[in-house]
Structure 1
Amino acid sequence: MTNINNTKNILYKWNNFKLKIILEGIIVGFFSGLLIVSYRYALEKALSFAKYIYALQLKNIFLIPIWVIILVIGGWIVGIIMKKEPMASGSGIPQVEGIVAGKLTMNWWKVILAKFLGGVICIGAGLSLGREGPSVQMGAAVGQGVGRIFKRIKVEEKFLITSGASAGLAAAFNAPLAGVIFALEEVHKNFSPIVMTTALAASITSDFVCKNFFGLKPVFDFKNLRPIPLNNYFYIIILGIVLGIFGVAFNKCIFKSQELYAKQKWLSPEARPIIAFIISGVVGLTLPQVLGGGHEIIGSLVNYSFPLKVLLILLIVKFFFTMVSFGCGAPGGIFLPLLVIGGLIGISYGDLIKGLFGFNQSYINNLIILGMAGYFAATVKSPITGCVLITEMTGSFSHLLSLSLVCLTAYVTADIMKSKPIYEVLLKKFLNKNVSEFQCEEGNKEIIEIAVCMGSTLDGKKIKEVKWPDQCLLVSVKRGAEEIIPKGNTSICVGDYLVVLANEKDIDYVKEHLCLLAEK
């Protein structure tokens, strides 16, 4: 049987698949959109059911023991799902990054089934988890499925995985542009034109499918908001610093919560979600507003006025409940909970400066938006995605300047505090926990694109002057619309894309080595 990942086949398809990969991206976007629509609908019904059950228990106390038993069984089922399919645990975004980087493999249909079922059970219990992580991973799994069904080469399959991840985020939040930027900035970590066009095709298609079911309204409906005047931008800078500090704290607490669960040797890994499920039962009876992702909290903050004490209680409980829920490894994301926490920080900060410095009440709701964006930028370390995501989720383009400022300030603050991107750390933890040899067929090849940055080691050098890794071959240099056949005297310029061929088993080492040359 001929190996489709041999050198001849890969180089031939690389020069002929640019239009085809866009069409395949549309297919991935369509099926990802349908899947995420089903997932969102199931989560909404599950959360509504959970809130109904908790309200019913307050009227009929004898139902509480029955519900506790159901929660224990639900937590155990989720634990078994995680044990049978470790790739379905947690957010799923680190796993997708690991697959694209060549560090992990997954069985696409098993991941879809496990993530879908596990996520619905978790939200049905009320855990503080979001839909975006599972949506990204399930979209990526759809991309891999399309690649496997049509027997595409490895490099093409990875493009489809990235486009599926983009489509998943687009459908989760009605945010197609954020899906594309997230795929480039966080998942692929490369602003490749092919990745961008494929991801854009998938995101637009997925968002179109999603809007046919959920309508054209943005996820968060902020009405009649006026931009904050320029003479108040000092408050935005201070807010950015506060969000940066709290973002670092969020990351550290997430990691500590995982370590705390792991230290409980008496508790088997599949039993860990039971703890979170039981705590969810307590929270559901005492403060049901913080159940689930927390979408309703943002709506309430916009439409109603709350005392500062109430805001702080919601903030503290939501924060620690998210730690408990995510730390156990249950299938679910952290985007929505962290956005809600950021919004609560923003409005609490607004109430504080209103009382101390007379900040205009009519601009306080703007701080909810800024809080969400800045907190995302500090936690995920993806400021561009943060700006675009919140812009699309709120449907307002009048806050771009203030959004950019708060995201930049929060990002720089987190960077000064040497905080690492949360998904990068979670991927390392996942790899250390699930030590398995990456399986690949002998002779399989892959192609990667590396962008040359200004001031990097490669900038201005001739190809013969560079010490290239032994395990790779420089196939071509893309400069704008021109594709150059590399020779020893060919100079490398800023903005060039180096097209490199390598063995599949060496791809991780080659990519890391070349990124160091091209970026630093």
Structure 2
Amino acid sequence: MEETNKHNTHNTLFHWHSFKLKLVFEGIGIGLITGLLVVLYRFALEKAGVLLIDVYKAISINSMLILPWIGALIIIGYIVGVMVKRDPMISGSGIPQVEGVLLRKIDMTWWKVILGKFIGGVLTIGSGLSLGREGPSVQLGAAVGQGFSKVFKRIKIEEKYLITSGASAGLSAAFSAPLAAVMFALEEVHKNFSPLVLLSALSAALSADFVASGFFGLKPVFNFKNISILPLKFYFYIILLGVILGILGVLFNKLILKTQDMYVKQTWLPKQMRIIVPLLISVLLGILLPQVLGGGHELIVSLVTENFSLTILVIIVFVKFLFTMVSYGSGAPGGIFLPLLAIGALVGNIYGMVLVHFVSFDSMYINNFIILAMAGYFTAVVRAPITGTILITEMTGSFSHLLSLSIVSIVAYIVADILASKPIYESLLEKFLHSQGEKISFGNKKNKSILEFAVCMGSDLDGKQIKEVNWPNYFLLVAVKRGEDEIIPKGDTVILPGDYLIVLTNEDKVAKINDALAIMTGSCEILNKQ
């Protein structure tokens, strides 16, 4: 009875007006827990990576050891495949699933996700698949946020903020990039710049980064040194690089979706056996081209510290690209951030070397193009230019390239937009929902939920009076937030861009209201394009 009362109309509205400061403290708590969990995850992956190097060194000395290693990979692939089949929420990056949970279109059992994603990610990424730690870290953090909400019996609107806070903390701890993590929560996960999201996500990201820094130090993830600033007279080459990255980003998005379809169409290959395919391929690559194994952190660092020939770079980027497709398409638990950055860095290195050979460009600027291409390629694929710019700035520890990073990111974004490429995580969410048969979480129709929507400039609601709008059924507009003011809505209240609509609805109608209001407010890019 207590749980039902807590979610009735009066208590739901009361909590909405009283939990701003509470979200900050809850964000700090979630950030600390997530930080510890992701630190443990990173340590496990590092140890697995060292073990992987030792395995291939041993195989190079004694080729007969390849047989037991293949047997071990088949067992690992089958175990993780069974885990993914039983709980599809732990498959792939995890970021699309988190977005689906926030839209109330899918359910997530937090403790199953934490266990499955942690174990599955360590086994597959640690075995050499071209997958990153960031997606699992985001989902692990989101699961911590949901677990916090369930354990302490928070209302649904509060749970949504706590999940977003956890996702932000996960990315922050994974890459030691708290500002990028907050921007990712705002720009990609939550899809609006709500002050409440900012407060809770920033609190969680900073506390998670504090924990991670205590274990890994205060140095940036990519500690590039002595990189000269690219003169303004060469910025034409940055624009050209942005165009190339935009096209390559669209290619990445299309092929990764097609690769998933290829696995599904192979009816002779059971779902629990799919992950074995890239694991077996990794054996051949581990012997012939070990640089492409794993997420790509060491590969990115080696581009700066070593001198690869142009031919070798072209081979590595081609194989890394295809191996990432095969690895992610199998449904193995792992993200695409690090592989994306590695592919982008390789493209930037090739681009710089081509300029040196054919345009007599100064070779001292090649490393600049490596950094720029990481941001541009990330933006072209994920379609989050602000996040991409801040992420690479924090990961490299240098703010001197902020202008050039911003330019290459926005150019890559525009090119991808012109080519009508959807953001990868929204495309992956659509595919995930389709594969699961649109298993929408209906919730309890007796419970109430508060939703918040940002009104975008040029949307259907821009400049209209409330009485002029054909609102969907089963919801009540309870407030319009304009800056620090909260307006009680009346029929002649004019809705302006930047307003936040506070909506009350039944819990079982949340998914439908989310879809309807996202189109009306213009807050969901993928829905606007449909």
1:471 maps to 474
**Aligned match of 1:461 in 464, 468, 471?**
464
Q: Does residue 182 of structure 2 align to residue 180 of structure 1?
A: yes
CA deviations on 1:91-141 (whole Å, 9 max, x unpaired) are 000000000011011110010000000001012211111000000000000
Q: Does residue 335 of structure 2 align to residue 359 of structure 1?
A: no
2:445 maps to 442
CA deviations on 1:219-268 (whole Å, 9 max, x unpaired) are 11110112111110100011000001111111111111111111111110
Counterpart CA distance in 2 for 1:460 and 1:339 is 41
**Aligned match of 1:241 in 237, 240, 243?**
243
1:507 maps to 510
1:482 maps to 485
1:409-428 → structure 2 map (5 Å cutoff): 409-428=411-430
1:281 maps to 283
Does the 8 Å CA contact 2:348/2:372 hold for their aligned counterparts? Answer: yes
Aligned-residue offset at 1:455:
2.6
Matched residue of 2:275: which SS?
Answer: helix
**Aligned match of 2:398 in 380, 392, 396?**
396
1:76 maps to 78
1:113 maps to 115
Counterpart CA distance in 1 for 2:15 and 2:476 is 17
Does the 8 Å CA contact 2:104/2:440 hold for their aligned counterparts? Answer: no
Does the 8 Å CA contact 1:36/1:172 hold for their aligned counterparts? Answer: yes
CA deviations on 1:165-201 (whole Å, 9 max, x unpaired) are 0000000000001111101111111111101110000
2:96 maps to 94
Q: Which residue identity does 1:503 align to in structure 2? A: N
Does the 8 Å CA contact 2:356/2:363 hold for their aligned counterparts? Answer: yes
Counterpart CA distance in 1 for 2:280 and 2:90 is 22
Aligned-residue offset at 1:77:
0.6
Q: Which moved more, 1:23-32 or 1:253-262?
A: 253-262
2:69 maps to 67
CA deviations on 1:21-45 (whole Å, 9 max, x unpaired) are 1111111100000000000000010
Matched residue of 1:449: which SS?
Answer: strand
Matched residue of 1:332: which SS?
Answer: coil
- Structure 2: which 5+ residue stretches go unaligned? 523-527
Does the 8 Å CA contact 1:474/1:498 hold for their aligned counterparts? Answer: yes
Q: Which residue identity does 1:518 align to in structure 2? A: T
- Structure 1: which 5+ residue stretches go unaligned? none
Q: Which moved more, 1:103-112 or 1:462-471?
A: 462-471
CA deviations on 1:379-422 (whole Å, 9 max, x unpaired) are 01111110011111001101111111100111111111111111
Q: Which residue identity does 1:279 align to in structure 2? A: I
Does the 8 Å CA contact 1:75/1:271 hold for their aligned counterparts? Answer: yes
Aligned-residue offset at 1:325:
0.8
1:307-322 → structure 2 map (5 Å cutoff): 307-322=309-324
Counterpart CA distance in 1 for 2:124 and 2:519 is 40
1:195 maps to 197
Aligned-residue offset at 1:497:
1.1
Counterpart CA distance in 2 for 1:466 and 1:67 is 64
Counterpart CA distance in 1 for 2:143 and 2:271 is 25
Does the 8 Å CA contact 2:444/2:506 hold for their aligned counterparts? Answer: no
2:11 maps to 9
Question: Aligned pair count?
Answer: 520
Matched residue of 1:499: which SS?
Answer: strand
Aligned-residue offset at 1:359:
1.3
CA deviations on 1:148-178 (whole Å, 9 max, x unpaired) are 0110001100100000000000000000011
Q: Which residue identity does 2:40 align to in structure 1? A: S
Sequence identity (%): 59
Counterpart CA distance in 1 for 2:21 and 2:507 is 24
Matched residue of 2:37: which SS?
Answer: helix
Does the 8 Å CA contact 2:35/2:211 hold for their aligned counterparts? Answer: yes
Aligned-residue offset at 1:465:
1.5
2:455 maps to 452
1:154-233 → structure 2 map (5 Å cutoff): 154-233=156-235
TM-score when normalising by structure 1? 0.99
Aligned-residue offset at 1:74:
0.6
1:429 maps to 431
Aligned-residue offset at 1:511:
2.2
Q: Does residue 103 of structure 2 align to residue 104 of structure 1?
A: no
Q: Which residue identity does 2:235 align to in structure 1? A: Y
Counterpart CA distance in 2 for 1:220 and 1:328 is 29
Q: Which residue identity does 2:503 align to in structure 1? A: V
1:301-312 → structure 2 map (5 Å cutoff): 301-312=303-314
Aligned-residue offset at 1:437:
4.4
Matched residue of 1:70: which SS?
Answer: helix
TM-score when normalising by structure 2? 0.97
Counterpart CA distance in 2 for 1:455 and 1:259 is 36
Counterpart CA distance in 2 for 1:372 and 1:345 is 9
Counterpart CA distance in 1 for 2:250 and 2:459 is 29
Does the 8 Å CA contact 1:125/1:281 hold for their aligned counterparts? Answer: no
Matched residue of 2:451: which SS?
Answer: strand
Q: Which moved more, 1:96-105 or 1:251-260?
A: 251-260
Does the 8 Å CA contact 1:163/1:195 hold for their aligned counterparts? Answer: yes
1:19 maps to 21
Counterpart CA distance in 2 for 1:433 and 1:442 is 26
Q: Does residue 147 of structure 2 align to residue 145 of structure 1?
A: yes
Does the 8 Å CA contact 2:440/2:511 hold for their aligned counterparts? Answer: no
Counterpart CA distance in 2 for 1:428 and 1:212 is 38
Counterpart CA distance in 2 for 1:160 and 1:325 is 31
Aligned-residue offset at 1:466:
1.4
